[in-house]
């Protein structure tokens, strides 16, 4: 199975409601998709969202990285030469983790198709279904309480509550959500908005009020590993590193420093399934549980994250709500998303059959 062509396109999917975090507000998913074609007629699919506020990757940067750097190391290559292919792809340009993730996902898809086995089974997995949380965007306490009620009515048992814009409102936000969702598992995500001391004060106030937070994601700036450790050591609430962990190297450093209790692995931060496996292995060694997360992504790349999560028991928490936040699903095949319940596909590779409404570029 030899690579003959790399085609790029765009998909545009409106969200059900605007997605708001301390870093950005988004109304629709606008992602770059990649199709890697082969001489056997098999196609591998990948996807990358332009999450400039987090990864630094814009639409133009993703397209440019693939067209100007990555494509030339792919054309004419055998999929069976998998390790070299991935190595050369990663060596063709530095950074650009979103573009690399899209390509890595499409290559894993083809590798699974070559051997006629689903990717999660190639990775040794036997878990077939996982349960995701759902994000409650940061808004006024009343609006967040309304969104929490709607999520509970749709069957979600775990809420990921965004905080951090106007931090003085954060305790009231959590109190409003907890009041309407007394039995829900509640995790919060500050998306880097707090200073270390502010984080400890707010988190401890939340615990003292009995708001019962499972963990807090990325309370302080991504680069501030010392600040993250300060929060981890001084707060009652467990701390998860998200934007601080892009690479296996970042994950190792965070774990060696004891800077966080938990790690959020996202394919778009680390460059795909290959590096996600390295982070998971390091976390297994350190006994640090991980969450599988996503950006605002549609089903192609989130489906790849599902395969990875189904294969790794160190992934004990799931935040793969990208597809259920979308008002429609233009992706044919792949995992089935039924609100919180996600079931992996047993088709070879990643099981994607095609994309509706793709705009080729």
Structure tokens at 98: 């979103």
User: Is 242 a binder of ligand LRSVPJYC (CB under 6 A)?
Assistant: yes
Contacts to ligand LRSVPJYC from residues 206-235, by CB under 6 A:
217
8 Å CB contact between 127 and 155: no
User: Is 139 a binder of ligand LRSVPJYC (CB under 6 A)?
Assistant: no
The CA distance from 164 to 223, in Å, is 17
8 Å CB contact between 292 and 320: yes
Instruction: Give the binding range for ligand LRSVPJYC (CB under 6 A) out of 40-48, 140-148, 292-300, 341-349.
Output: 292-300
DSSP for residue 174: H
User: Is 217 a binder of Mg ion (CB under 5 A)?
Assistant: yes
Contacts to Mg ion from residues 186-205, by CB under 5 A:
189
The interface partner of residue 160, options being ligand LRSVPJYC, Mg ion, none and the CB cut-off 5 to 8 Å by kind, is: ligand LRSVPJYC
> Does 160 count as an annotated binding residue?
yes
User: Is 244 a binder of ligand LRSVPJYC (CB under 6 A)?
Assistant: no
Burial class of residue 359, CB neighbours in 10 A (0-12, 13-18, 19+): exposed
> Does 135 count as an annotated binding residue?
yes
Contacts to ligand LRSVPJYC from residues 297-356, by CB under 6 A:
319, 321-322
The CA distance from 193 to 63, in Å, is 30
Give the nearer residue to ligand LRSVPJYC in terms of CB position, either 47 or 217.
217
Helix orientation angle between 196-208 and 225-234, rounded to the nearest 10 degrees: 20
The interface partner of residue 109, options being ligand LRSVPJYC, Mg ion, none and the CB cut-off 5 to 8 Å by kind, is: none
Q: What is the 3-state secondary structure (H, E, C) of 186-221?
A: EEEECCCCCCHHHHHHHHHHHHHCCCCEEEEECCCC
The CA distance from 17 to 157, in Å, is 20
Summarize the annotated binding site for substrate as residue ranges: 24, 135, 160, 294, 296, 319, 321
Summarize the annotated binding site for Mg(2+) as residue ranges: 189, 217, 242
Q: Which residues bind Mg ion (CB under 5 A)?
A: 189, 217, 242
Q: Which residues bind ligand LRSVPJYC (CB under 6 A)?
A: 21, 24, 51, 54, 135, 160, 189, 191, 217, 242, 293-296, 319, 321-322
């Amino acid at each position: 199975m030899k690579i003959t062509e790399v085609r790029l396109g765009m998909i545009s999917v409106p969200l059900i409601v605007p997605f708001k975090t301390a870093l950005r507000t988004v109304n629709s998913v606008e992602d770059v998709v990649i199709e890697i074609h082969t001489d056997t007629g098999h196609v591998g699919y990948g996807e990358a969202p332009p999450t400039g506020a987090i990864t630094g990757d814009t639409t133009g940067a993703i397209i440019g990285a693939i067209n100007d750097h990555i494509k030339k190391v792919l054309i004419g290559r055998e999929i069976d030469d998998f390790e070299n292919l991935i190595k050369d792809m990663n060596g063709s340009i530095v950074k650009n983790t979103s573009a690399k993730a899209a390509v890595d996902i499409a290559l894993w898809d083809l590798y699974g198709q070559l051997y006629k086995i689903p990717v999660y089974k190639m990775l040794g997995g036997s878990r077939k279904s996982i349960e995701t949380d759902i994000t409650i965007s940061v808004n006024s306490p009343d609006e967040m309480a309304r969104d929490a009620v709607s999520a509970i009515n749709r069957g979600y048992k775990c809420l990921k509550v965004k905080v951090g814009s106007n931090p003085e409102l954060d305790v009231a936000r959590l109190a409003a959500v907890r009041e309407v969702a007394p039995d829900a598992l509640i995790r919060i995500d500050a998306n880097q908005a707090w200073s270390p001391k502010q984080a400890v004060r707010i988190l401890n106030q939340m615990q003292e009020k009995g708001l019962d937070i499972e963990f807090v994601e990325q309370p302080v700036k991504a680069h501030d590993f010392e600040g993250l450790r300060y929060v981890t050591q001084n707060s009652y609430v467990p701390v998860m590193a998200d934007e601080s962990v892009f690479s296996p190297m970042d994950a190792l450093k965070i774990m060696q420093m004891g800077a966080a209790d938990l790690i959020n692995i996202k394919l778009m931060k680390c460059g795909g399934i290959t590096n996600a496996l390295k982070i998971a292995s390091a976390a297994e060694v350190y006994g640090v549980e991980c969450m599988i997360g996503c950006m605002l992504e549609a089903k192609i790349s989130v489906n790849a994250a599902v395969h990875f999560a189904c294969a790794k028991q160190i992934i004990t928490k799931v935040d793969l709500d990208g597809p259920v936040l979308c008002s429609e699903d233009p992706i044919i095949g792949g995992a089935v998303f039924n609100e919180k319940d996600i079931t992996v596909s047993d088709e070879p590779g990643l099981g994607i059959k095609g994309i509706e409404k793709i705009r080729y570029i």
